[in-house]
Amino acid sequence: MADGSDTTLTADQAASAPAPNGLVAGIKSFAAGHGGAKAVIEYVGKRGARIVLVGSDGAWGDQFAEDTVVAREACAKAGVAVENAWERELMDQMRPSNDLWRSMARRTMAR
C-alpha cells in the first residue's frame, strides 16, 4: 500500500472532530417531538453524512454532519440509536407527510 492510502480511523482522529452542539440539539429536539427516534447515517461524499431520523410516530427528517464520525457522535450524545442499515421494520415505520406527497407530485408534474 502506498503511504497515505490507509483509510483506518484511529481514536485520535475520531476525538478531533466533536459533534456541533446545534446538531446534537436538533437531533434531541426531533426525538423529543416524535416520541423517540432511530437514525440511519448515510455517507454522501464530499458533502459529509446525512442523518435520517425516523420518529416513533412515523415522522422523519434529516440533519447533515461533516462526516460519519461526527454524525455517530452527535446521535450518541443525543441518545438516539443508530441502525446499521435500512431494515424493513424501520422503513415500514416511516410515514411521509401530506406536504411531502404534494411536493413530490409537483416535481413529477413539472417534468
Q: Let me know: does 54 contact 94? Beta carbons within 8 Å.
A: yes
Query: Model confidence over 68-111: pLDDT tens digits?
Result: 999 999 999 999 999 886 666 666 666 666 665 566 556 555 55
Residue 1 belongs to a domain = no
Domain carrying residue 29? 16-110
Total number of domains constituting the chain: 1
Please state the pTM of the whole predicted model. 0.67
- The amino acid sitting at 58 is G
Residue 2 belongs to a domain = no
Give the cell for residue 74: 452527535
8 DSSP 8-state letter: P
pLDDT at 13 over 70: no
Query: Does residue 67 sit in helix, strand or coil?
Result: coil
In this structure, the number of other CB atoms found within 10 A of the CB of residue 101 comes to: 10
